[in-house]
Chain A
Amino acid sequence: MAEFNKAENLGEWFDQRLNTKAFWKTMMSEYWIPKDINFLWAMGALLATLFGILLISGIFLLMYYKPDVNLAFDSVNYTIMQEVGYGWLFRHIHAVGASIVFLVIYIHMFTGIYYGSYKKGREMIWISGMIIFMTFSAEGFSGYMLPWGQMSYWAAYVITEIFGGIPFIGGDLVVWIRGNFYVSDATLTRFFMLHVLLLPLGILGAIVFHFYTLRFPHVNNQEGDFFDYEVESKKFLDGNKKESKVINFWPGFLSKDIMVINIFMIFFFYLVFYHYNFAMDPINFDKANGLKTPEHIYPEWYFLWSYEVLRGWFFSIAGISGKDLGLMAFAFANGIFLVMPWLDRSPTVAPANRRPYFKIWFWLLMLDLVILTIFGKLPPTGSNAWVGFFASASFLILFISLPFITNMEAKKAGGKQ
């Protein structure tokens, strides 16, 4: 065993045993972040905060929630909302947090797309982010089922039904997922397990992995600049902080993140206390009733765009039924973001406004997603069905054309690279 001198203070005591000083340097005070960033780069830290908030409020809810079709509704709406001290607060925080975290995830994702932060060495950051996104989606879906209200039940019914469209195994798969032929107690208890154990564990792991993937390629910056971190960090350490292109993670980067997080919390708690219906659909305060189909069934807002891609195909083409076409489009939409780094064929890392073709593509995509989201909620009747179809088809066309567009752009930029 190495020789230990008596420690002068507590800090040294820990340093001897855990090497905390070096650890702090590596992780915080000498972990380098580019200086040329804006508040959109605070979304990652904001997401970590929101995840923490969800975890803590969720643990409180878990103390009183009862995963049983006969008890679930009242355990949430009576016990937690009315009996337990501040139970309502934890539920509001959890529900609003779960909804708003997706808004921030989308901002974070589209920031990545806008600045091209998924390529030239940053592919693993993107992939790990997409893994988080997919697990988070499953987390949101399974959580929405737990209060066992009308929308819990019917959204679960409709979404699990989607898997029935998969050739050959579809029918069996649906039964396997539900644990029964219909959405029932077995469905509730297994989604409960997923929601409170397996998925959060997966998300936690994926977040750690996401942070690790950021380590070597480093975070991107507003201009997509590549520079030598050795040189720039040396400048910083030598005291030329103003000239250096980097800042330290602590306190430089985090001081800005903490500022953004605090300002965001004003908005967040306004929603929690005074404007929560968007996250807690009134219809879900009717107890689940398998015999009474609600007039309008729709998923949570963050699934609306992909739900509309599914619904848009309402007539058959070339002998393939609308249902099957929708299913294929849906599978495409949910997988395609994963391969984003390889669809963008241009080697340029730059914000979209400096990329002549990609710029147009990006804003068209945003427009299409907004249209899909809005029409995903509206009843798919009359002209709405056609808007849905064209928006859904546009989504596919946008992604299929992306490699060609970016190739052309790269050729155009040609010599200048």
Chain B
Amino acid sequence: MREFKILVVLFAIVGFTYYGIEPYAHHIMHPEPVEADFNFKDLKDIDSSLKGDAQNGKTLVEANCVACHSIESQGHMPLMDDATNAASYGVVPPDLSTAGNLYNKNYLANFIANPAKAMHLEHKYSETKPFPMPSYNWMTPKEIMDIVAYFESIKAKELTHKESFENACGRCHSMAYAGISAKTPGKVATSHFGSTPPDLSQYIKSRGEHYLHSFINDPQNLLKGTAMPRVGLTQETQEDVIAFMEETGDRKKDERNALGIWVILFFVLMSGLAIAWKREIWKDLH
């Protein structure tokens, strides 16, 4: 009985202290991140009622976009190598073969009309330092929706988690533990953004899934003024990207979860034996 009382007091002190230095301190230091908004409600509806014409979209893309972007699945190869591209634009323009898979449709339409605004980066760019990709706000909503329809028509059947990551983030971020290096060389990126896009190998551990969900959806939620763009991913792609970060950064998670139960059970068994043995010995002592 006395031992039980001691145990209760011990648990109370340790439990209270633990609550203070872990859950409570985290709650104070890291405010709850804003929920991700996959409808991108702040953007106006370019005109989703229009049914885009993929054929016309193709013509528009070939006239306007392939000077900078490759679309390798359609035979448009990059005109310059990554280093030259990076030197010209500050960031390597991404290949657009998978644009139909990655981006929310209305986001993509808004992005074409005004990239910096859709990315929530207007504070970073100005007349003197324009965003590297021009705004196509001179196009009619119909033309923009044609382009969106075109990307939809050429989208890949399925993307692996790795492909999603490479296409959505790979122009800026490396992932050394998966053998991926950023297309844009670090030095160029640093001078272009004013901060370095970090290697993301361990970010699943250092930031955690919860933070990433909010951050990738809109970086300004958590890092006000940051140069990291809102990328405009659909919920599905974003989950794939985070899954890839976990597969790379916490590769042994499944092994850990599976083994833990057995080790714990082993000590439950050992405890049973130890209790029985102690009783046996103490039978003569009490």
Query: Interface of A with B (CB < 8 Å)?
Result: 35, 38-40, 74, 77-78, 81-82, 88-89, 92, 103, 107, 222, 241-242, 247, 251-252, 255-256, 258-259, 261-263, 265-266, 269-270, 272-274, 277-278, 282-287, 295-296, 301, 304, 366, 370, 373-374, 377-379
* A259 and B25 in contact, given A282-B208, A286-B206, A370-B17 (Cβ under 8 angstroms): no
Chain A residues near B6 (CB-CB < 8 A): 38-40
Within 8 A of A (CB), among B141-172: none
**Contact (Cβ within 8 A) A285 B264:** no
Query: Are A242 and B285 in touch, CB under 8 angstroms?
Result: yes
Going nearest first, the 9 A-B pairs with the smallest beta carbon separation are: A273-B260, A374-B20, A285-B206, A285-B205, A259-B274, A262-B271, A285-B202, A255-B281, A265-B267
CA distance A278 to B26 in the complex (A): 11
CB atoms of A258 and B278 under 8 A apart: yes
Known: A270-B260, A379-B28. 12 other contacts (CB 8 A): A40-B6, A222-B2, A252-B281, A262-B274, A263-B267, A266-B268, A272-B263, A278-B18, A295-B29, A373-B20, A377-B21, A378-B28
Contact with A along B185-223 (1 / 0, CB 8 A): 000000000000011011101111000000000000000
Complex contact A251–B263 (CB within 8 A): no
Cβ of B224 within 8 Å of any chain A Cβ, yes or no, is no
Given A241-B284, A242-B285, A263-B271, is A379 in contact with B252 using a C-beta cutoff of 8 Å?
no
Contacts of B257 in A (CB 8 A): 273-274
Q: Tell me which residues across on chain B come within 8 A of A81, comparing CB atoms.
A: 251-252
Most chain B beta carbons < 10 A, residue from A39, A285, A378: A285
Q: How large is the interface on B (under 10, 10 to 19, 20 to 34, 35 or more residues)?
A: 35 or more
**Distance in Å: Cβ of A80 to nearest Cβ of chain B:** 11
B14 close to A (CB within 8 Å): yes
Name 24 A/B residue pairs within 8 A (Cβ), A-sorted: A74-B176, A77-B177, A82-B177, A88-B255, A241-B285, A242-B286, A255-B274, A259-B277, A262-B271, A263-B271, A265-B267, A269-B260, A269-B267, A270-B260, A273-B256, A274-B257, A274-B260, A278-B22, A282-B207, A286-B198, A301-B21, A373-B20, A374-B21, A379-B29
CB distance from A71 to the nearest CB of B (A): 13
Q: B3 within 8 Å of A by Cβ?
A: yes
Per a CB cutoff under 8 Å, which of B251, B259, B278 touches A89?
A: B259
Closest to A87 in B: B252
Contacting pair B267 A88 (CB below 8 A) = no
Q: Which residue of B lies closest to A40 (CB)?
A: B6
Q: How far is the CB of A302 from chain B (nearest CB, A)?
A: 10
CA distance in complex: A376, B17 (Å): 11
Min CB distance A27 to B, Å, is 18
Complex-state Cα separation, A379 to B25, whole angstroms: 9
